[in-house]
Structure 1
Amino acid sequence: MRLRSDRVRVRVPATSANLGPGFDALGLALALHDELEVRALGSAQVVVEVTGEGEGAVPDDEQHLVVQALRVGLDHVGAPQTGVHLVCRNRIPHGRGLGSSAAAVVAGLAAARGLIAEPEALDDATLLRLATAMEGHPDNAAPAVLGGATVAWTDGDDARAVPLAVHPDLAPVAVVPATHLSTKAARGVLPQAVPHRDAAQQAGRAALLVEALGRRPDLLLDATVDRLHQEYRRPVMRDSLALVDALRARGVAAVVSGAGPTVLALARRLPGAPGDATGARTDADEAVAEVFGGVMGGWRVLPLAVDHDGVRTTTG
């Protein structure tokens, strides 16, 4: 397959996986975006420029995750490989449980789609399969591709996802610590088996969460109870779990975002707050302020709208 363009711009959202009980399945796209530009070069040269999150820390050569994903996408459709000039403007925090690696993978694959003559060969379903193969699980990749809330699953080597309804009053608030935590470290403390009663409760709460996200946000606190992963992770993110406990004690549906250590409050927009605006007043604001007492200690509070678009590309 030939290339049709030598330049593509990509915008990809942050994501939060699990949302409490939906371990490795549920995810939500957030209105916090990495933006990048890929330019195909006539030589084999690879140039990577990064500003913002990850600047000076991520690879600036073929090992950059966006470049790797771009190669995978081009290989999948039999398109020629090319030299690359990649410019990244990153806003998604790295190592915080907000889907930065999934965003990079999805962005690289979407860039490949923007460069080729037949972009339908890398449709959303294909992007999800390829991203899952690189990531190992589809919970972040699905909302990064599709936007909104998603439930994703795997069947052998296949990965699939469907969008879920999101109530217009849902107003996520990410509380981001200064510390990093690798997904490998967060998964390393999980047990090989859990009690049957915990698994049974988890299934019920995950099903309830689908209803709460779409139609009954008043049920979010009950729907986000987790027995499968968060408590097991307390030894490697004590401050995050302490914050989850404190917010939930005040009625806020707080969970660990993905593998952490960011805490995500699935808050509700207060009456009279703007419809879709990032930064709208929520029912979590008072609780967050009360817990921190004005002393943030390196934590950042990011009120975020839901991103309903998923990854987007423009060419030329």
Structure 2
Amino acid sequence: MGKVKVRVPGTSANMGPGFDSIGLALSIYNYIEAEETESGLCIEVLDAETKEFLPTDEKNLVYKSMKYLFDKADYRPKGLKLVLNSEVPVTRGLGSSSACIVGGLACANELSGKPFSSREIMAMATQIEGHSDNVCAAVSGGFTVSVFQKDEIFYYSHKMNGDLKFLVLIPDYAVTTQKARNTLPGYYPRRDVSFNISHASLLVASMVSGNYENLLCAMDDRVHEPYRKVFIDGYPKIYNKLKSYGSLGTYISGSGPTLVSVVEADDAELFYEDIYEYMQKAHPTWTVKLLDADNEGVKVI
């Protein structure tokens, strides 16, 4: 009977103009233990908040992802026991579903004898999730750019060197991915398409080169943020406050409502203290975290 435990990072996707293509793995994690048993399915969710959202039957996303890989590997465990411990908040735009999918696939791959490569797992996760930005970062770690085309994943993962930190502002309310996607228009003017192509290109160049002075401009977006920021209470004031305190750039993480602000590591602690004090007064129910980039991605521990 096999047993495995994996750690999966939360992820921040879209990153301004990088809609469905640019992602970042962060130092906030979900832990999944999977053990083969003689029969049945037992799923235990340790985190109280997450327990409200995650089913503990065959509808559970971790289990469904494991079964997806087991079917491809033609592997049939008699039974399974899963223990899920989640730091990544659900429905907040930090890749909770991708963490479940990638973690489930990684566990199943280990239990079935590692028949699939990381790239193949990434492609499976994209097929389940529907877009590659979160899952690519969750598998490989780092700052990632990805394209999913004809059932194949093409990606680049840039490992961060620790000179940036990421202030994460997490509201105490949810915005579902479906709601966030439904608010987007079906078509965009040519000028907006050109705007996003140029800004996404500048964003990638800035992050990979380490020339961060262009980030404030590079993170401007016309595809999703103008339509989604209405779901975030106090967005204009928070954005301007982050900018006034020295943020290199701020964006809506995933489909929201979480905001991520990029700051130089040397200034991060003071920046965090200033913003934490402001948020305690303006939005005391929000959670404020200062995180690093995660360069490892999903990991068997």
TM-score by length of 1: 0.89
Pairing partner for 1:281 from 265, 269, 273: 269
Whether the 8 Å contact between 1:149 and 1:165 is mirrored in structure 2 is yes
Matched residues, percent identical? 33
Paired residue for 1:275? none
**Structure 1 residues 146 and 54: CA distance shift in structure 2, 3 A:** same
RMSD (CA atoms)? 1.8
Whether the 8 Å contact between 2:276 and 2:288 is mirrored in structure 1 is no
**Structure 1 residues 311 and 131: CA distance shift in structure 2, 3 A:** same
- Structure 1 residue 86 corresponds to structure 2 residue 82: yes
Letter in 2 for 1:239: G
- Structure 1 residue 122 corresponds to structure 2 residue 109: no
Whether the 8 Å contact between 1:174 and 1:301 is mirrored in structure 2 is yes
Q: CA deviation at 1:287?
A: 5.5
Mapping of residues 53-68 of structure 1, within 5 Å: 53-68=49-64
Mapping of residues 23-62 of structure 1, within 5 Å: 23-43=19-39, 45-52=40-47, 53-62=49-58
Letter in 2 for 1:144: A
Paired residue for 2:164? 170
Whether the 8 Å contact between 2:21 and 2:132 is mirrored in structure 1 is yes
Whether the 8 Å contact between 1:240 and 1:263 is mirrored in structure 2 is no
Pairing partner for 1:299 from 277, 283, 286: 286
Q: CA deviation at 1:240?
A: 4.1
**Structure 1 residues 74 and 266: CA distance shift in structure 2, 3 A:** same
Unaligned runs of at least 5 residues, structure 1? 272-279
Q: Distance in 2 between matches of 1:59 and 1:90?
A: 14
Paired residue for 1:256? 252
SS of the aligned residue for 2:11 comes to strand
Pairing partner for 1:188 from 163, 182, 191: 182
Letter in 2 for 1:265: S
Q: CA deviation at 1:245?
A: 4.4
Letter in 1 for 2:7: R
Whether the 8 Å contact between 1:205 and 1:223 is mirrored in structure 2 is yes
Q: CA deviation at 1:223?
A: 1.4
TM-score by length of 2: 0.93
SS of the aligned residue for 2:133 comes to coil
Letter in 1 for 2:295: H
Letter in 1 for 2:137: P
Unaligned runs of at least 5 residues, structure 2? none
Q: CA deviation at 1:76?
A: 1.2
Letter in 2 for 1:155: Q
Q: Distance in 1 between matches of 2:31 and 2:240?
A: 34
**Aligned pairs, number:** 298
SS of the aligned residue for 1:259 comes to coil
Paired residue for 2:220? 225
SS of the aligned residue for 2:128 comes to helix
Residues 148-183 of structure 1 show CA distances to partners (whole Å, capped at 9, x for unaligned) of: 111011113323321125353110111101011110
SS of the aligned residue for 1:73 comes to helix
Whether the 8 Å contact between 1:175 and 1:262 is mirrored in structure 2 is yes
- Structure 1 residue 140 corresponds to structure 2 residue 134: yes
Whether the 8 Å contact between 2:159 and 2:295 is mirrored in structure 1 is no
- Runs of 4+ more than 6 Å apart: none
Q: Distance in 2 between matches of 1:287 and 1:142?
A: 33
Q: Distance in 1 between matches of 2:214 and 2:282?
A: 30
Q: Distance in 2 between matches of 1:187 and 1:7?
A: 38
Q: CA deviation at 1:248?
A: 3.4
Pairing partner for 2:204 from 193, 205, 210: 210
Q: Distance in 1 between matches of 2:96 and 2:218?
A: 26
Q: CA deviation at 1:196?
A: 1.1
